[in-house]
A and B are shown apart, each in its own frame.
Chain A
Amino acid sequence: MRFDLARTLLWASVVAILAFLFVPVAIIMVYAFSASNIQGWPIQSFTLQWFARTFADDEVRSALWLSIEVAVVATALAMLMGLLAALAVYRIRGAASEAIAFAIVLPIALPGILTGMALNSYFVLWGINLSFTTIVIGHATFCTVIVYNNVIARLRRLPPSWAEASADLGAGPWRTFRLITLPMLSSALGAGALLAFALSFDEVIVTTFTAGAQTTLPLWIFGAIRLGQHLPEVNVVVCVVILLTIVPVLLAQRLMGRAALLHK
């Protein structure tokens, strides 16, 4: 094959961008296995002791557990609200539809610091103590948008003739929703939920403003780095966070890919 300059440059830029994005992450993951508690090259010897020590740490374990609980509850809430919002926006026609759709996706466009501050002053105003519930509410704002976006995109791609065919065959609106529309949306809903989970799991900014005494895993990392403590454990925790966010994202992608095939 002839030397193709454009092709070579394209490949080079792809490699450069991927390196830019992932080399720092890879380095942290390598550090997690380094025997030394000081981060530096070259790495002398490898060990699993940091993993054992991290998982034995009660602070880390309760932070991990809290993060998972928050993510699960916020995702469940987001699935319900995102699905309902998408169904409503899909049915509303005209200018109102666009205005409402814009208002629904706004939370993800707003800087997290704004959402966080606004929620914080709102909770303070009503005398609501910052707690598990307030963290969940904070996360549900952007998680709902993710689910909504996934579901509305699928709804708009579904041919209307399926719902019509169901009605034509004698199924009422609820039966049509249950047996036809919801199954058609399920993979989009699932993918949205997985992305929402990943997003909630590593959220720092909104959590900072909505958490009381609670420490989620990202907050624990943030605190540990700031104080320069437990750095080897931080590396291990980061590995866990990467795993717990990448896996749902990969699953979500596969889910959407398979659905696209199904609906061709």
Chain B
Amino acid sequence: MQQGNEQAPLIRLSGVRKVFGGTAAIESLDLAIAPGEFFTFLGPSGSGKTTTLRIIAGFEQPDSGRIELDGQDLSRLPPHRRDVNTVFQDYALFPHLTLLENVAYGLRAKKIPSQEALQRAEQALASVQLGDFGARRPGQLSGGQRQRVALARAIVNRPRVLLLDEPLGALDLKLRHQMQVELKALQQQTGITFIYVTHDQDEALTMSDRIAVFNHGRVEQVASPWTLYEQPQTAFVAGFVGITNIIEHHGARFALRPEKIRLLSPDARPEGQEAIPATVKAVSYLGMSTRFLLHCADGRTLTVVEQNIAHRAEAPRLTQGSAVLAAWSAEAPWPLAA
């Protein structure tokens, strides 16, 4: 279920527009998200990704356009009548209720008998490794535990779509990596469609089936992680997803990823490759890799990343001021839309 366009979409936004105080937060947005997809809205802050999520949840009303869930128009439905649930950025756990009451809240609101609601809430808490914590209150939990409760509270309702608004933003890096894996596993287990908002490109690439890249209230590209990275359509996408060199050739612009450039000795004559003499301006050792900033003979600067694959510690081959030949295969540069 990687491609959204082959089957009827579960969520469809058409011509959605939202203006805040005279400036358009979202300019005429069209999106189709397939059932069971892990779909990510990626973009910098203020790009309209969170607003779009809030429009799907029903917290914001679009100024124009249509939102459909499984063919049904959602535009007129208040949030409590939409079959979607949200994991909030600040988790929004109810501080005066126990964890069990928090998780059972949605079930009780849907008039599920309290016996069954509590039972299902207990199971949901257990499934996020907080089975023994049911009687505690949110104030007694760590950030990571609150995050799990927020997740359990949403997922226990078995919504058609789960909306996640930067849910890992408040966690430290290690926990974030661990939760990325768990979230993806949970999504595959439950088969629930996830719409995930983040500004973190690593997070987006790690988990998503498809990613929509937001910029200034518009979607620049919707594609799989591989396509976004290897075949970005715009300079913004190329620059936001990973590091890139933008090179110009006969008036056209190309994205050239830093790991696709090889550094050769200045007298090498590689065959069938583009090559340009350059001087190393800066060297950053990053552990797994080393990043070089090159000053090219034609005045351009290029960023190059080399994997550190040598088995033994050896003196660095290149230092600041070294003369090199930067070379790449003719297919490596990817043409960008004008």
Residue numbers of A with Cβ under 8 A of B are 159, 161-162, 164-172, 175, 179-180, 183-184, 262-264
Among candidates A159, A171, A172, residue contacting B105 with C-beta atoms closer than 8 Å: A171
Residues of A within 8 A of B43 (CB): none
Residues of A within 8 A of B88 (CB): 161, 164-165
Q: List the 4 closest A-B pairs by CB distance, nearest first.
A: A169-B106, A161-B92, A165-B92, A170-B109
CA distance A167 to B106 in the complex (A): 9
Decide if B86 touches A159 in the complex (CB within 8 Å).
no
Residues of A within 8 A of B90 (CB): 159, 161
Decide if B96 touches A167 in the complex (CB within 8 Å).
no
Decide if B96 touches A184 in the complex (CB within 8 Å).
yes
CA distance A212 to B270 in the complex (A): 108
Q: Which of A164, A172, A264 has the most CB of B within 10 A?
A: A164
Decide if B79 touches A167 in the complex (CB within 8 Å).
yes
Decide if B96 touches A169 in the complex (CB within 8 Å).
no
B261 at the interface (CB under 8 A from A): no
CA distance A162 to B81 in the complex (A): 17
B110 at the interface (CB under 8 A from A): yes
Decide if A172 touches B80 in the complex (CB within 8 Å).
yes
B153 at the interface (CB under 8 A from A): yes
Residues of B within 8 A of A161 (CB): 88-90, 92
Decide if B80 touches A167 in the complex (CB within 8 Å).
yes
Residues of B within 8 A of A183 (CB): 96
Of all chain A residues, the one with the shortest Cβ separation from B54 is: A164
Residues of B within 8 A of A171 (CB): 80, 105, 109
Minimum distance in angstroms from B103 CB to a CB of chain A: 10
Minimum distance in angstroms from A62 CB to a CB of chain B: 42
Among candidates A162, A167, A170, A172, residue contacting B94 with C-beta atoms closer than 8 Å: A162
Decide if A168 touches B85 in the complex (CB within 8 Å).
yes
Among candidates A167, A169, A263, residue contacting B95 with C-beta atoms closer than 8 Å: A263
Of all chain A residues, the one with the shortest Cβ separation from B79 is: A167
Among candidates A162, A170, A179, residue contacting B80 with C-beta atoms closer than 8 Å: A170
CA distance A164 to B89 in the complex (A): 12
CA distance A162 to B110 in the complex (A): 18
CA distance A232 to B105 in the complex (A): 59
Minimum distance in angstroms from B119 CB to a CB of chain A: 18
Decide if B86 touches A168 in the complex (CB within 8 Å).
yes
Contacting A at CB under 8 A, from B205-242, are none
Of all chain A residues, the one with the shortest Cβ separation from B165 is: A161
Contacting A at CB under 8 A, from B143-165, are 153-154, 157
CA distance A193 to B105 in the complex (A): 30
Residues of A within 8 A of B285 (CB): none
B139 at the interface (CB under 8 A from A): yes
Of all chain B residues, the one with the shortest Cβ separation from A164 is: B59
Decide if B153 touches A169 in the complex (CB within 8 Å).
yes
Minimum distance in angstroms from A243 CB to a CB of chain B: 31
CA distance A146 to B126 in the complex (A): 45
Could you list 23 A-B pairs, sorted by A, with CB under 8 Å? A159-B90, A161-B88, A161-B90, A164-B92, A165-B86, A165-B92, A166-B94, A166-B109, A167-B58, A167-B80, A168-B57, A168-B84, A169-B80, A169-B85, A169-B153, A169-B157, A170-B80, A170-B110, A172-B80, A175-B109, A180-B94, A262-B95, A262-B96
Contacting A at CB under 8 A, from B236-287, are none
Q: Which of A175, A179, A262 has the most CB of B within 10 A?
A: A179
CA distance A167 to B81 in the complex (A): 8
Decide if B80 touches A165 in the complex (CB within 8 Å).
no
Of all chain A residues, the one with the shortest Cβ separation from B104 is: A169
Minimum distance in angstroms from A159 CB to a CB of chain B: 6
B78 at the interface (CB under 8 A from A): yes
Q: Which of B57, B84, B105 has the most CB of A within 10 A?
A: B105
Of all chain B residues, the one with the shortest Cβ separation from A261 is: B139
Flag B62-106 by CB within 8 Å of A: 1 or 0 each. 000000000000000011110011101110111110000000011
Of all chain A residues, the one with the shortest Cβ separation from B137 is: A262
Contacting A at CB under 8 A, from B45-61, are 57-59
Residues of B within 8 A of A167 (CB): 58-59, 78-80
Flag B118-132 by CB within 8 Å of A: 1 or 0 each. 000000000000000
Q: Which of A161, A165, A168, A179 has the most CB of B within 10 A?
A: A168
CA distance A93 to B89 in the complex (A): 25
Among candidates B92, B153, B157, residue contacting A159 with C-beta atoms closer than 8 Å: B92
Minimum distance in angstroms from B166 CB to a CB of chain A: 12
Of all chain A residues, the one with the shortest Cβ separation from B101 is: A179
Of all chain B residues, the one with the shortest Cβ separation from A183 is: B96
